[in-house]
Chain A
């Protein structure tokens, strides 16, 4: 079974990678399995300086998912270049750097510095719902998104994937703005802004009050958005949101994703990425696919649907 996928800047041996923010910089998961198995690694967000993130509690459980408001805590781009990238370079696995910032200048500066390293691609994080400045502001206004993508593209030596926020009324216009600015691909979706309140304390459970909802609860939203964007915009998509099984991966491929990222499922089972990579060939075969490429965008193939209904 051929599980290879070619994307701009990424020659993936399989389409499965851990999602940014749910895998740190890989060290913790390396005690459970060899990171060489992964299609790629998407690093935790890099900002210009160190960020200490939000006040705790930062997570809360929800039905079929979780809320988080970490607040982009990271050692800063210099720290990541000095300590984290060298560790990931010991594996023959492409590295995707998640680039974040509060201003356009910060995004540009982080991308410039990371362009000097061995990373294979950027995931431009214009969709973090848990930071007061920047983040989701860029991801909810097509004009701001287009501007920051263009500025980052200007200084980037590697392809730029833009991580879209689902917290918008019109996801297609956001994707079109990124395409217009020269984005090489999209990654979708980031978390949905949510909130929980504890009846005992009468207060929000997360100190930040709101957090980003992830997990199986958001999968139908992600599938819908990917399906819509695939029809409207000619850019490859890395899909994510609540993936826990091989059937989930296939659903994303059929909607139009060329690869997938696994997020909060890593918290339930630290071995989940490796287990799904191992199970993927059999899963594809079960539904009659001969390769990963065979499944990509399959839900848009109306001739296939009509042939089924006729038979």
Chain B
């Protein structure tokens, strides 16, 4: 993990209030697993860094791709950054999806909203390993949807929206019953309420979930982003023990 001023190569809006940042710098060479994140300092005006998951890595060009959603003043200020500007990045942080340990042939990616991006890099890596990838992407409405075409390059894609404006009306869990018998491992990232529903629906399938929480330091020192665990330790630190966990390892709040 390192602190680096990364250069913005490209900054574009990819859906309503959702932006894609391509950054150039050494951090790209240190990403080990899909699911890792970087901790971004918007400016000196905003005190805490923002954890943003890595949506893609190009080590030949030394770039990482981040997607973020405008949630408040800080992320809104981030939208003002332009190509050529430099941005203060700490990373790559955390433990991602443990690809090297996986023995899977049929993977199901289940993403919700701004939880979709890390699954994109995961899907690319799985496809490289010859794994069949199916994706379920959930958004609030059609205007919020992004990266659907990119996931289609990886395999079959099912989209759900809360209002039915794109794909199936409802939540990602509406389409899981028809898919779960055809896969051997699931990978999910999204809001906690979605992860809880996915965990319940997929309880008999091996899988991994990626959790988000407000962070302080992002390196494991401050104990802000803990989640209760199912063992004697009693907790896991999301920023350094995660953000990716086995579903039975943690108790979702």
Q: Are A73 and B223 in contact (CB under 8 A)?
A: yes
Stretch at the interface among A56-64, A95-103, A132-140, A248-256: A56-64
Q: Are A61 and B223 in contact (CB under 8 A)?
A: no
User: Scoring B residues 137 to 156 as 1 if CB is less than 8 Å from chain A, else 0, what string do you get?
Assistant: 00000000000000000000
Q: Do A70 and B224 contact each other (CB < 8 Å), given the known contacts A57-B213, A268-B49? A: yes
Q: Do A58 and B219 contact each other (CB < 8 Å), given the known contacts A50-B234, A268-B41, A270-B90? A: no
Q: Are B221 and A24 in contact (CB under 8 A)?
A: yes
Q: Are A21 and B47 in contact (CB under 8 A)?
A: no
* Cβ-neighbour of B47 out of A27, A55, A65, A270 (below 8 A): A65
Measured between C-beta atoms, what is the minimum distance from B100 to chain A in Å? 22
Contacts of B223 in A (CB 8 A): 24, 44, 53, 58, 70, 73
Q: Are A66 and B3 in contact (CB under 8 A)?
A: no
User: Scoring A residues 170 to 200 as 1 if CB is less than 8 Å from chain B, else 0, what string do you get?
Assistant: 0000000000000000000000000000000
Q: Do A57 and B47 contact each other (CB < 8 Å), given the known contacts A28-B220, A28-B221? A: no
Query: At the interface, yes or no: B166 with Cβ under 8 Å from chain A?
Result: no
Query: At the interface, yes or no: B1 with Cβ under 8 Å from chain A?
Result: yes
Contacts of A15 in B (CB 8 A): none
Could you say which interface size class chain B belongs to?
20 to 34
Interface members, chain B 201-253 (any A CB < 8 Å): 213-228, 234-235, 240, 253
A-B contacts counted at CB < 8 A amount to 95
Q: How many residues of A contact B (CB 8 A)?
A: 35
Query: At the interface, yes or no: A48 with Cβ under 8 Å from chain B?
Result: no
Query: At the interface, yes or no: A215 with Cβ under 8 Å from chain B?
Result: yes
Measured between C-beta atoms, what is the minimum distance from B235 to chain A in Å? 6
Contacts of A264 in B (CB 8 A): 47, 216
Contacts of B90 in A (CB 8 A): 270
Contacts of A60 in B (CB 8 A): 214
Q: Do most interface residues of chain A lie in helix, strand or loop, or is the interface mixed? A: loop
In the bound complex, CA of A171 to CA of B67 (Å):
47
In the bound complex, CA of A27 to CA of B240 (Å):
12
Query: At the interface, yes or no: B157 with Cβ under 8 Å from chain A?
Result: no
Measured between C-beta atoms, what is the minimum distance from B11 to chain A in Å? 22
In the bound complex, CA of A73 to CA of B236 (Å):
12
Q: Are A56 and B226 in contact (CB under 8 A)?
A: yes
Q: Are B214 and A59 in contact (CB under 8 A)?
A: yes
Q: Are A52 and B235 in contact (CB under 8 A)?
A: yes
* Cβ-neighbour of B3 out of A64, A68, A70, A271 (below 8 A): A271
Contacts of A73 in B (CB 8 A): 223, 226, 235
Q: Do A28 and B234 contact each other (CB < 8 Å), given the known contacts A73-B226, A267-B222? A: no
Query: At the interface, yes or no: A31 with Cβ under 8 Å from chain B?
Result: yes
Contacts of B228 in A (CB 8 A): 52
Q: Are B227 and A22 in contact (CB under 8 A)?
A: no
* Cβ-neighbour of B216 out of A50, A52, A267, A271 (below 8 A): A267
Instruction: Please indicate which of the listed interface residues B3, B74, B215, B221 has the most CB atoms of chain A within 10 Å of its own CB.
Output: B221
Q: Are B226 and A22 in contact (CB under 8 A)?
A: no
User: Scoring A residues 25 to 44 as 1 if CB is less than 8 Å from chain B, else 0, what string do you get?
Assistant: 00111011000000000001
* Cβ-neighbour of A66 out of B216, B220, B225, B240 (below 8 A): B216
Q: Do A29 and B222 contact each other (CB < 8 Å), given the known contacts A56-B253, A269-B3? A: no
Q: Do A28 and B240 contact each other (CB < 8 Å), given the known contacts A55-B253, A57-B213, A68-B216? A: yes
Query: At the interface, yes or no: A23 with Cβ under 8 Å from chain B?
Result: yes
Measured between C-beta atoms, what is the minimum distance from B40 to chain A in Å? 11
User: Scoring A residues 62 to 87 as 1 if CB is less than 8 Å from chain B, else 0, what string do you get?
Assistant: 10111010100100000000000000
Instruction: Please indicate which of the listed interface residues A27, A60, A215, A267 has the most CB atoms of chain B within 10 Å of its own CB.
Output: A267
Contacts of A228 in B (CB 8 A): none
User: Scoring A residues 198 to 235 as 1 if CB is less than 8 Å from chain B, else 0, what string do you get?
Assistant: 00000000000000000100000000000000000000
Contacts of B46 in A (CB 8 A): 61
Contacts of A59 in B (CB 8 A): 48, 214-216, 222, 224
In the bound complex, CA of A61 to CA of B216 (Å):
9
Q: Are B220 and A24 in contact (CB under 8 A)?
A: yes
Query: At the interface, yes or no: A11 with Cβ under 8 Å from chain B?
Result: no
In the bound complex, CA of A60 to CA of B47 (Å):
10
In the bound complex, CA of A60 to CA of B220 (Å):
17
Measured between C-beta atoms, what is the minimum distance from B19 to chain A in Å? 20
Measured between C-beta atoms, what is the minimum distance from A17 to chain B in Å? 14
In the bound complex, CA of A267 to CA of B49 (Å):
8
Query: At the interface, yes or no: A266 with Cβ under 8 Å from chain B?
Result: yes
Measured between C-beta atoms, what is the minimum distance from A59 to chain B in Å? 4
> What would 7 A/B residue contacts be, using CB atoms closer than 8 Å?
A22-B221, A27-B221, A56-B214, A56-B224, A59-B214, A264-B216, A266-B217
- 7 interchain residue pairs of minimum CB distance: A24-B221, A28-B221, A59-B224, A28-B219, A267-B217, A57-B214, A61-B48
Known: A66-B47, A270-B217. 14 other contacts (CB 8 A): A24-B220, A31-B1, A32-B1, A44-B223, A50-B234, A52-B226, A52-B228, A58-B216, A58-B224, A58-B225, A59-B222, A61-B48, A61-B74, A68-B224
**Chain B contacts to A: CB under 8 angstroms:** 1-3, 41, 46-49, 74, 90, 213-228, 234-235, 240, 253
